[in-house]
Amino acid sequence: MGGLHALHKMLIEHAHPRPKGVAPGEFLEIEPDVFAVQVATNAEEVARLEADLAELGVGELPLKDRIFPFTDHGAPAPTAGIAAGQKRWRDFYRARGIAVADPGAGISHLIMTEQGIVLPGSVVALRDSHTPTMGAVGAFAASLAGGTLSLFALGRYWLDVPRVKLVRIEGRLRKGVFGRDVALHINGALGQRGALGSAVEFAGSFVRALGMDLRFTLCNMGTEIGAMASYVQPDDVTLRWVKDRAKRAFRVFDTDSGFEYHGVHEFDASTLDPQVAAPHAPDNVRPLAEVEGRHIDQAYLGSCASGRLEDIAAAAAVLKGRKVHSEVRFIVTPGSREVLKAATRLGYIDVLHEANAIVTSANCGACPGLHGGILAPGEVAIACNTRNFPGRMGPNAEIYLASPASVAASAIEGRIASPLKYLQ
């Protein structure tokens, strides 16, 4: 293979020892810029970690200044059991002088980029399946399948170098079609194993025209096609976004002109209508028109896929001057405090309240099925979640995934509906 991809160059820079080059399938010992850890609910796991560290003779954590603990699942704690587990984890970090993000800060992938902790060229280790979301800023962000103890004890972990696939998207969207519709369509076309074991780069005129919010949405979807990491090459849009956020110097890596992608997939966004992923898989995608009219009990806007300012703006545009259907619960969970503050300042939250939507604090909310909108058996939801697997938001319930605008339109009608008529 001629040349190196930008992601491979990042791994070389963070490897010990540092190789001159790498090839897919090789293993590298990596020291990350950021080791992010969830303030989880399992108190027993803390006890095991402390015992393991004591057995290894580890006192001071080697990555202490790069550890970023966050609380986004089940935050604030919805049960006494979850509260006890989170307290145990907070005590673990605070005893070691490590600050913990508060439970209203928002979802890890959003707040670490918003706060300039993850930047172009960063290598990020995080045990959360949607870690690739942060590749939107030009970082190598891969979910940890293992290696957590070695990061706590040694400050490094082993990683296999991925192949890189290219997803090139051209064209402009029709009215009523949004970036999340494109992500859903790609998910349906490539399937849950379409990029398994690989990294995926999103490029093309459509991507270049996107703001950062929808670039995050695309990179988030990489997880649902099996990608180890997602990536968008930093450009002026990226650099303007990170300029006032960066907490440290960063480096933009470029892909060599001779690099050969492991596969190239091309899409034309201009041909798409509103999309929906029907139960019970994120790649069970079809035009929304095929399921239009399906009764819903709940509409949900949030998650690391679609909990950003552009998403709330799209929903507010549909809802302005209208009301949520009397038999529908429309729950809106911003992805971060920054998003919530901006949406409030711009008047979107007032629109949602006037429409009788339920606006919550910033967190993962109902997406992982812990709180904030759990479904009763037999209920149907349309949502902007990452996934619609069986039991994801409640046992024996159905979840249809769609864009924020489609979710808002459905909340008005009490059935799955296209947003087009509300955007004239």
| pLDDT tens digit sequence for 4-42 | 999 999 999 999 999 999 999 999 999 999 999 999 888
Of 116, 147, 106, 140, nearest in space to 309 by CA: 106
How confident is the model at residue 424, as a pLDDT?
Answer: 76
User: Are the CB atoms for 30 and 157 separated by under 8 Å?
Assistant: yes
Give the largest Cα separation in the chain, rounded: 66
In the chain, CATH 3.30.499.10 covers 6-266, 276-422
C-alpha distances (whole Å) from 217 to each of 230, 261, 309, 414 are 11, 22, 12, 26
- The parts of the chain modelled with pLDDT lower than 50 are 1
Query: How far is 327 from 410, CA to CA, in rounded Å?
Result: 12
3-class secondary-structure state, position 409: helix
Q: Does domain 6-266 have CATH number 3.30.499.10?
A: yes
SS3 109: helix
Show the beta-strand stretches assigned E in 56-120.
67-70
- Do the beta carbons of residue 361 and residue 76 sit within 8 Å? yes
Specify the pTM. Answer: 0.96
Q: Which residues contact 17 (CB under 8 A, 6 or more apart)?
A: 29
Confidence at residue 40, expressed as pLDDT on a 0 to 100 scale: 84
Is residue 124 helix, strand or coil? strand
Q: Which residues contact 371 (CB under 8 A, 6 or more apart)?
A: 74, 78, 365
| 3 state DSSP class of 208 | helix
**DSSP secondary-structure letter at 418?**
-
276-422: CATH topology? Aconitase; domain 3 (3.30.499)
pLDDT value for 1: 47
Q: Which residue has the tokens 């711009």?
A: 346
CB 164 within 8 A of CB 132: no
Query: Contact, 359 vs 352, CB < 8 A?
Result: yes
Of 419, 302, 324, the residue nearest 370 (C-alpha)? 302
> What does the pLDDT read at residue 41?
84
Q: What is the pLDDT of residue 367?
A: 96
Q: Which residues pair with 124 in a beta bridge?
A: 34, 141
